Amino acid sequence: MRKVSCALTIAGTDPSGGAGIQADLKTFQELKSYGMSVVTSVVSQNTTGVKGAHHLSENFLLSQLKAISEDMPVHALKTGMIANKSMMKVISEWLGEVDAPYVMDPVMVAQSGDPLIEKEDQRYLKEYLVPKTSLVTPNIPETEVLVGGEIKTEADMKEAAEVIVRDLGAGAALVKGGHLNGRAVDFLYDGKRFYEFESERIDSPNTHGTGCTYSAAITAYLSQGHALPQAVKEAKYFVTEAIRHSFHLGKGSGPTNHFALREEVFNQWL
Ligand SMILES: Nc1ncnc2c1ncn2[C@@H]1O[C@H](COP(=O)(O)OP(=O)(O)O)[C@@H](O)[C@H]1O
Ligand SMILES: Cc1ncc(COP(=O)(O)O)c(N)n1
């Protein structure tokens, strides 16, 4: 029987297709993992911003989670937007039912600046979920919320990654430097050593969904059994090419190109 690697995302939606569940499923598919999804919130948004959000009830969230764990294999999972404390609690308790690497993208605001999580509930990400992760992938503003201090330099990023693992109990931390000036560098700390992942900064306004796409790619590679540093290395390449070949769609920050690695795309656009 053919074996397939199964990856699950637990996140909010993006009808414009660049971020959230939609970006995650496209990424899983592109990287040849079988994609599954549990919706936390149905979000009305596009490239210009968030218009509204409908948060699912705790019971219905749990019903979806159980539908997966009672029936389907999960080889790796990620979480994205989790809008409030009660949903975080449900997911935290349900995580006891799965034995798979867990990647948390601690989504707080959309690229447009609109909040995706209730501010007073941000701290519960730390309490309920961070200690259960294999990896947390904060950008700079999210790192500042998690560690409670300003991040201005690459040295600050490394120090914060250490704090997230040592003091907050994450399995590993990948602090992403997309919001700093200069090279696009991310630092991974796995409790033992640092790894650095660098790419040139691509001059593109189309970065809607980069964080979702990156963490989904890491999850896909983990579902296939790659070790964490290798999974991040390959995912960094994937997200960099997705930004390089991004689409000028919509009136705001356009989406990345989830099929940028396909040979025909290179032939067509390089
Ligand atoms: N303009 C860019 N050129 C190249 N890489 C980028 C660019 N912007 C972001 N990245 C990379 O995309 C990934 C997502 O980063 P970041 O923007 O920090 O996260 P988020 O989307 O969660 O805000 C990181 O690997 C970051 O280094
Ligand atoms: C449902 C949902 N989840 C996450 C993001 C953040 O996207 P980005 O990767 O651009 O920070 C988003 N805009 N919508």
pLDDT band at 24 (very low <50, low <70, confident <90, very high): very high
* Within a domain: 75: yes
Paired sense of beta strands 6-11 and 76-79, if any: parallel
Please provide residue 108's backbone torsions phi and psi, each rounded to the nearest 5 degrees.
Answer: -125, -50
Residue 96 and residue 86: Cα distance in Å, rounded?
17
Could you tell me if the ipTM is greater than 0.90?
Answer: yes
Residue 253 near ligand 2, beta carbon < 6 Å: no
Residue 179 near ligand 1, beta carbon < 6 Å: yes
From the CA of 23, which ligand is nearest? 2
Gyration radius from the chain CA atoms = 17
Print the SS3 string covering 68-103: HHCCCCCCEEEECCCCCHHHHHHHHHHHHHCCCCEE
Q: What is the pLDDT of residues 193-224, one digit of tens each?
A: 999 999 999 999 999 999 999 999 999 999 99
Q: How far is the CA of 16 from the centre of ligand 2 (A)?
A: 11
From the CA of 181, which ligand is nearest? 1
Residue nearest to atom 4 of ligand 2 (CA): 20
* Within a domain: 171: no
From the CA of 200, which ligand is nearest? 1
* Within a domain: 159: no
Mean pLDDT in residue range 250-269: 84
Residue 215 and residue 92: Cα distance in Å, rounded?
19
* Within a domain: 110: yes
So what's the pLDDT on residue 160? Answer: 98
CA distances, 262 to each of 97, 112, 116, 202, 246 (Å) = 36, 29, 32, 19, 13
CB-based contact 242:258 (threshold 8 Å): yes
Residue percentage of the chain with pLDDT more than 70: 96
| Residues noted as catalytic | 176, 207, 209-212
CATH number of residue 69's parent domain: 3.40.1190.20
Domain that holds residue 127: 6-132+207-269
**Residue 185 CA, closest ligand 1 atom number:** 27
* Within a domain: 139: no
Q: What mean pLDDT value characterizes the chain?
A: 95
Contact partners, residue 111, CB within 8 Å, separation at least 6 = 19, 207, 208, 209, 210, 253
Residue 236 near ligand 1, beta carbon < 6 Å: yes
Say if residue 269's pLDDT is above 60.
no
Mean pLDDT in residue range 163-181: 96
Helix %, strand %, coil % for the chain, to 5?
40, 20, 40
Say if residue 270's pLDDT is above 60.
no
* Within a domain: 184: no
Say if residue 56's pLDDT is above 80.
yes
What total number of domains does the chain contain?
Answer: 1
Q: What is the pLDDT of residues 82-137, one digit of tens each?
A: 999 999 999 999 999 999 999 999 999 887 888 899 888 999 999 999 999 999 99
Q: How far is the CA of 20 from the centre of ligand 2 (A)?
A: 5
* Within a domain: 215: yes
* Within a domain: 157: no
Residue 113 and residue 216: Cα distance in Å, rounded?
21
Residue 178 near ligand 1, beta carbon < 6 Å: yes
